[in-house]
Chain A
């Protein structure tokens, strides 16, 4: 069955960096675009970034553009989110989701807390 497992979350100080990973299984990872979506505590969903199936195209929300980088390693079936210059407002559960157009499968999420 399709499975997405995020990791790499934790507590980090403002201005520091963190890299999230999303390990995929149960489907042909290299055939699908992948997203990162976040949810601040008690708030709604916010789209963060998407990467095409072959990694050649990336798109970002204005709120993270220039600070976050989405990437993937199709040989390892893994999606990444490099987060630099973190701000307190980046505190959220980060989900990875499968499929460029319909986000049809989501991981359980990993919590990132940005705090001094």
Chain B
């Protein structure tokens, strides 16, 4: 149950687009579409932003989008805003009927 690999940090200026990658294996990300992304502000609970690779729950801005290619999933945030500064985590269902999270990415809006 090794954690999915995410960059520790990414940054971007307001209005720009950024992409956060999430690399797993053929036993998790590569074999299942149960890939989700969560946003977490310090001291708060995580919030679901993307599920099933590319679906947005109601109420989540269309600036957030997800995709997957092979063993790597990606979260893209377009039109970056100051309020997007937070930690982001990916997760995936695995072949062992368990779930695994990525190590988290701190997004800084410059």
> Does B1 count as interface, using CB distance less than 8 angstroms?
yes
| Partner-B contacts on A (CB < 8 A) | 35, 37, 44-47, 50, 59-63, 95, 101-109
B1 to chain A, nearest CB (A): 5
Q: Which residues on B sit within 8 Å (CB–CB) of A95?
A: 45-46
Q: Once the chains are docked, how many angstroms separate the CA of A104 from the CA of B45?
A: 11
10 additional A-B pairs beyond A50-B99, A95-B46, beta carbons within 8 Å, are: A45-B46, A45-B91, A47-B99, A47-B100, A50-B98, A59-B97, A102-B52, A103-B46, A103-B48, A106-B46
> How many residues from B make CB contacts under 8 Å with A?
25
1/0 per position for B28-55, CB-CB distance to A under 8 A?
A: 0000001010101000011110011000
Check if B45 sits within 8 Å of A61, measured CB to CB: no
| Partner-A contacts on B (CB < 8 A) | 1, 3, 34, 36, 38, 40, 45-48, 51-52, 57, 89, 91, 93, 96-104
Of B1, B48, B102, which one neighbours A61 at CB under 8 angstroms? B1
Of A44, A106, A107, which one neighbours B101 at CB under 8 angstroms? A44
Residue of A whose beta carbon sits closest to that of B3: A44
What are 9 of the A-B contact pairs (CB < 8 Å)?
Answer: A44-B104, A45-B91, A47-B91, A47-B98, A50-B99, A59-B96, A63-B1, A102-B52, A104-B57
Task: Give the interface centre of B34, B48, B89, B91 by most chain A CB atoms within 10 Å.
Answer: B48
Check if A62 sits within 8 Å of B1, measured CB to CB: yes
B19 to chain A, nearest CB (A): 19
Q: Once the chains are docked, how many angstroms separate the CA of A101 from the CA of B57?
A: 13
Check if A103 sits within 8 Å of B45, measured CB to CB: no
A87 to chain B, nearest CB (A): 17
A45 and B104 in contact (CB under 8 A), knowing A101-B93, A102-B36, A104-B51?
yes
Residue of B whose beta carbon sits closest to that of A49: B98
Q: Once the chains are docked, how many angstroms separate the CA of A50 from the CA of B96?
A: 12
A44 and B48 in contact (CB under 8 A), knowing A59-B97, A59-B98?
no
Q: Which residues on B sit within 8 Å (CB–CB) of A45?
A: 38, 40, 46, 89, 91, 101, 104
Residue of B whose beta carbon sits closest to that of A62: B1
